[in-house]
Amino acid sequence: MLKIVRWCILTISLIGASPAIAAGFAGQFEGIGTAGGMTLTLQESNDRVVGRFHSGRGEAFSLNGRRTGDAAQGSVERSGQSFFFHLEERPLGVQFLLIPKTPEQEPDIAGATDYSFVQKGLQLPKPSVYRAAPPRGIDVDIIQFIDAFRDWDPADMARIYVSLESRYRELIQLFDHAAAEVLWRVCTTRPPNGVFAAGDLDQMLERQRTDCRAYLSSITSVRDAGLLNEFLRKSNFQLELIRETVKCDRGLSPETKCADVSAMSGPLMLRWRRADDIMRELVGDEPLEVAQGAPAPISPTAITRASPASDGAVSADGEVRTSGLTRLPRVRPGRQDTVGSEPTQGYLPRARPSRN
């Protein structure tokens, strides 16, 4: 197994994880993976940690506990239901262990369930034009790729992706949402083509068991339902984990932080899902079909600064929008929304995950 993957699968359980780096149990958090749909609202004062836990099924629990060193623990209560909890900070959120009680009202550790939560508020900034990508013949490092791929035209992004070292392409493919976003961008170039050969496409689609037309149709449904923010938020989180994994492999991060990154990465890898399934689940697992004769879904237009043309319209920000085509959303992972960007308009996501 590649050394770079070792950090990701080193530790999966919460118990025994290293001390966290984040500052305090306070804020709003959203569940990822098996915790999808769950939320945590926490407040900390004088070592007391209180808040609300929403199970995602309409159940709201009150949370009351105390900090003990780098963790917090206490009780989770709702009318007729009572649990213990154990909470630990993570670089991008918190890890939450929900522990049922035995008939003797003792913690049932064997029956506990571990959930991952990330800080709420990773939204989208305003879009802008594509930036020039490194030309052919220039080596691009994986961290440079993660930081900049959303700035590039999809064709340049696809060209540079296939030029990455194979171990880094494989690392990206271990994270389902990150892999799904890369596939999305590749598919908008309508491969195979001059930058993304048939063999490269077959390799990328082998595990996904779909094709670009069906997948872009799924993304169109997610966009139309207004749910692209949710997908991109989870992709942002995974891209940041990939970034930190590479830094750990290169000895650029402290071991305590690398253990935390590993603890969050392992469960995500084990729960890997196909890109099309991710999109279907976002819209309620409804069957998605491509309309006969419809234009290719979510295909980006050229984004330029120009005067109005007969076949397009110029928006208030001066960008030409060609009729009949829709662009993907652009985002900066981990950055706060500036002026309420609308992903349903179809801007291609861009820029870098937030850095710690």
CATH of the domain at 14: 2.40.128
Pair 204, 320 in one domain: yes
Reported as a single tens digit per residue, the pLDDT across 91-135 is 677 889 999 999 999 999 888 898 888 877 543 344 457 888 999
Q: 5 lies in a domain?
A: no
pLDDT of residue 271: 93
Residue 247's domain spans which residues? Answer: 142-345
Pair 102, 219 in one domain: no
Domain's final residue, options 54, 85, 119: 119
Reported as a single tens digit per residue, the pLDDT across 280-334 is 999 885 443 433 333 334 433 332 222 223 333 333 333 323 333 333 333 334 3
10 Å CB burial of residue 271 (0-12, 13-18, 19+) is exposed
How sure is the predictor about 31, in pLDDT bands with cuts at 50, 70 and 90? confident
| Residue 208: pLDDT over 50 | yes
Token pair of 85 as six digits = 């909890």
Which residues 6+ apart lie within 8 Å of 49 measured at CB?
25, 42, 43, 63, 64, 65, 66, 67, 72, 74, 87
Q: 113 lies in a domain?
A: yes
Pair 303, 238 in one domain: yes
Residue 110: beta bridge partners? none
Q: 131 lies in a domain?
A: no
| Residue 158: pLDDT over 90 | yes
pLDDT of residue 121: 54
Pair 249, 336 in one domain: yes
Torsion sign across C-alpha atoms 12, 17, 22, 26: positive
Portion of the chain with pLDDT greater than 90, in percent: 44
pLDDT of residue 205: 93
Residue pair 280/286 in contact by the 8 Å Cβ criterion: yes
* Total domains present in the chain: 2
Pair 176, 279 in one domain: yes
Q: 3 lies in a domain?
A: no
Residue 114: name the closest of 12, 9, 238 by CA.
12
Torsion sign across C-alpha atoms 278, 213, 197, 195: negative
Which residue type does 36 have? G
Pair 323, 190 in one domain: yes
Residue pair 228/221 in contact by the 8 Å Cβ criterion: no
Q: Report which of residues 36 and 124 the model is more confident about.
A: 36
Domain's final residue, options 88, 119, 150: 119
Pair 227, 283 in one domain: yes
Pair 197, 330 in one domain: yes
| Residue 272: pLDDT over 60 | yes
Q: How far is the C-alpha of 195 from the C-alpha of 184, rounded, in Å?
A: 15
Q: 137 lies in a domain?
A: no
| Residue 37: pLDDT over 60 | yes
Q: 135 lies in a domain?
A: no
Pair 20, 166 in one domain: no
Which residues 6+ apart lie within 8 Å of 142 measured at CB?
164, 165, 168, 171, 242, 246
Residue 84: beta bridge partners? 75, 99
Pair 115, 160 in one domain: no
Pair 241, 183 in one domain: yes
How sure is the predictor about 248, in pLDDT bands with cuts at 50, 70 and 90? very high
Q: Once rounded to an integer, what is the mean pLDDT over residues 147-167?
A: 93
Q: 66 lies in a domain?
A: yes
Pair 187, 314 in one domain: yes
Domain's final residue, options 85, 119, 153: 119
Q: Report which of residues 95 and 341 the model is more confident about.
A: 95
pLDDT of residue 119: 75
Mean per-residue pLDDT of the chain = 75
pLDDT of residue 238: 94
Q: 126 lies in a domain?
A: no
